């Protein structure tokens, strides 16, 4: 059984697991409502997995880099399925770390170090900050992607189809879907028309929307009456995806550095769109925040 760690403010009780350094629960201490999807196995058995070192699927469950082929059968890499080590904990922050091992080197050759912080602040009691630092501890350039995949429950009594997705300052957005196997279809771009920056989730269009290179650095889920419910802020992220399992009542807001392979992609990892590159000894930090409105 994985250990969990609790952060609290006057407004929120946040629970993070050692398994996958995954956000498991955000309880609103005022209303008593759970705000994160409950990971029911029959629908989707995750809460908010970290996607590393890949976002999405790889063609034929493998990839080629520097003239060698490696297997990667699972989508979204492997970090979500491994136990992290809790390296620091306080009342307002918890730090987790995952380092390369024999197990990871068999499928991902680099000596990486992934550090994850979840933190809250009494000055902003309804905000959760998430920060990742990816470090290349080896001597050769490292290629990777990283992303977030939190699932949010709608307000009590509301269906996800009745909720609004709000993109401040946007009038229209172009997105592309993924196919049934989970591969991107960038040649099938569609237009999302917004009214006052908002659109409703619809089950009659693809269940994944990928916004690519349009500067979408903030998105909210709002109640049917327009009242803000959850806001995700991800400045600087080149990709943002919205996904909703047709069988589940939740909506995922997903900021990414990198994305799933395009359908039919047969190139090398060096040619894959959106990959991050770190030289030996280099590291980079990424951060986003979630505000849980009353």
The answer to whether the CB of 110 falls within 8 A of the CB of 100 is: yes
Residue with tokens 């979204």: 76
- Helix, strand, coil % in the chain, rounded to nearest 5: 5, 45, 45
* Number of folded domains that form the chain: 1
Which of 278, 273, 276 lies closest to 59 in space, CA to CA? 273
Position 12 scores a pLDDT of 98
- With H, G, I as helix, E, B as strand and everything else as coil, classify residue 79: helix
* pLDDT in single tens digits along all 294 residues of the chain: 569 999 999 999 999 999 999 999 999 999 999 999 999 999 999 999 999 999 999 999 999 999 999 999 999 999 999 999 999 999 999 999 999 999 999 999 999 999 999 999 999 999 999 999 999 999 999 999 999 999 999 999 999 999 999 999 999 999 999 999 999 999 999 999 999 999 988 766 778 999 999 999 999 999 999 999 999 999 999 999 999 988 999 999 999 999 999 999 999 999 999 999 999 999 999 999 999 999
The answer to whether the CB of 77 falls within 8 A of the CB of 257 is: no
- Dihedral sign for Cα atoms in the order 50, 145, 192, 228: positive
Supply angle C-alpha 217, 221, 222, rounded to 5: 125
Position 199 scores a pLDDT of 93
Q: Which two tokens stand for residue 282?
A: 């280099």
Tell me which DSSP letter residue 261 carries.
Answer: P
Distance CA 96, CA 153 (A): 25
Position 138 scores a pLDDT of 95
Residue 176 sits in which domain range? 4-292
Position 207 scores a pLDDT of 84
Position 204 scores a pLDDT of 62
The CATH number that applies at residue 41 is: 2.70.98.10
Position 186 scores a pLDDT of 96
């Amino acid at each position: 059984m994985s250990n969990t760690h609790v952060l609290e403010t006057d407004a929120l009780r946040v629970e993070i697991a050692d398994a996958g350094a995954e956000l498991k629960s955000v309880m609103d201490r005022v209303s008593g409502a759970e705000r994160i999807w409950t990971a029911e196995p029959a629908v989707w058995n995750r809460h908010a997995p970290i996607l590393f070192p890949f976002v999405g699927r790889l063609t034929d469950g493998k990839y080629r880099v520097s003239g060698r082929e490696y297997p990667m059968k699972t989508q979204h890499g492997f970090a979500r399925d491994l136990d992290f080590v809790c390296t620091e904990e306080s009342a307002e922050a918890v730090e987790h770390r995952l380092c390369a091992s024999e197990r990871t080197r068999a499928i991902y050759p680099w000596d990486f170090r992934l550090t994850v912080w979840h933190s809250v602040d009494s000055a902003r009691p309804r905000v959760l900050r998430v920060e990742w630092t990816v470090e290349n501890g080896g001597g050769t350039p490292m290629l990777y992607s990283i992303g977030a995949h939190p699932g949010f429950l709608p307000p009590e009594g509301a269906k996800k189809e009745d909720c609004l997705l709000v993109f401040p300052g946007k009038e229209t957005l172009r997105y592309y879907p993924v196919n049934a196997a989970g591969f991107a279809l960038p040649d099938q771009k569609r237009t999302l028309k917004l009214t006052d920056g908002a659109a409703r989730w619809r089950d009659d269009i693809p269940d994944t929307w990928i916004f690519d290179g349009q500067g979408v650095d903030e998105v909210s889920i709002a109640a049917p009456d327009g009242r803000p419910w959850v806001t995700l802020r991800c400045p600087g992220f080149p990709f943002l995806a919205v996904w909703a399992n047709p069988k589940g009542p939740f909506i995922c807001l997903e900021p990414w550095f990198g994305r799933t392979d395009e359908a039919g992609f047969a190139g090398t990892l060096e040619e894959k769109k959106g990959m991050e590159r770190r030289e030996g000894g280099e590291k980079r930090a990424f951060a986003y925040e979630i505000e849980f409105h009353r």
